[in-house]
Amino acid sequence: MSKVELYLGDCLDIMRTIPDKSVDMIFTDPPYGHNNNNNGDLISRWEAALGKGDYIAERDDRPIANDGIEANELYRQMLYAANRLLSPGCCCCCCCSGGGPDPQSARWSLWMDKIIGFKQMIVWDKGPMGMGWHYRRSYETILVGEKPGAACRWYDKTHRVENIIRNIGKIIPGRNQHPTEKPIQLAAHFILLHSQPGDTILDPFMGSGTTGVACVQTGRNFIGIEIDPGYFKIAEKRIHDAQQQPNLFEVNK
């Protein structure tokens, strides 16, 4: 059975307690700094642009911790901590929004390159988005950093892995889910590529525990950190339930 360690608190504080070079991979979905879920602000702006009554999405007013301007510095400091925890050849995979007026993916890519080493930007095609305002965000990016000094930990056997992910659909979260929850299959895609069974995967922004579920289902050990007590509790239950089920993914591609 996978070893699981879950921590409720600030990821920077808890990462300081983890020994150097003890993590084999990081997969995480940090707050993007867009305040998208604070008081329905994004929906309010869409309504103002489109005209009253042209309602294109349900309001979601569940705030995400550190999802303001502080998210950029939090991400940067997390990379410094990650660089200490990873061994040469290990990878750090960070979800990173999907376009828009703020060139976040460009900025975050440059920081990753400076602090860890940049390997690739992956495009996750989430499928059709339906009608909406201007360019609909039908994709997200995942930034992959690789710590230099050794060959990349890469366990694909097909030689067919592209930098575009297709056929993994988006999640439209319900009220009992994290508002930016990602599919388990997305986390598993990267975990299978960059780690082996028994390796330790860290998620500093665990949310409702998707990375942890993917680790349990692929036979990896997991360290998860989350600052929000409500989502932490959901993560505990999801990961516990996953431990009661058989592995659902192949251990290697």
Instruction: Say which CATH number the domain at 16 has.
Output: 3.40.50.150
Domains: count for the chain? 1
pTM of structure: 0.85
In a domain, 47, yes or no: no
Query: In this structure, what token pair is assigned to residue 40?
Result: 């329905």
pLDDT at 251 over 80: no
pLDDT at 139 over 60: yes
pLDDT at 120 over 90: yes
> pLDDT tens digits, residue range 204-218?
999 999 999 999 999
The string of DSSP letters for 71-101 reads HHHHHHHHHHHHHHHEEEEEEEEEE----SS
Q: Is residue 129 classed as helix, strand or coil in its secondary structure?
A: coil
| Higher per-residue pLDDT: 134 or 41 | 134
In a domain, 106, yes or no: yes
Check: CB of residue 30 under 8 Å from CB of residue 95: yes
Domain extent at residue 10:
4-34+66-243
In a domain, 249, yes or no: no
Query: In this structure, what token pair is assigned to residue 245?
Result: 């089920």
In a domain, 52, yes or no: no
In a domain, 8, yes or no: yes
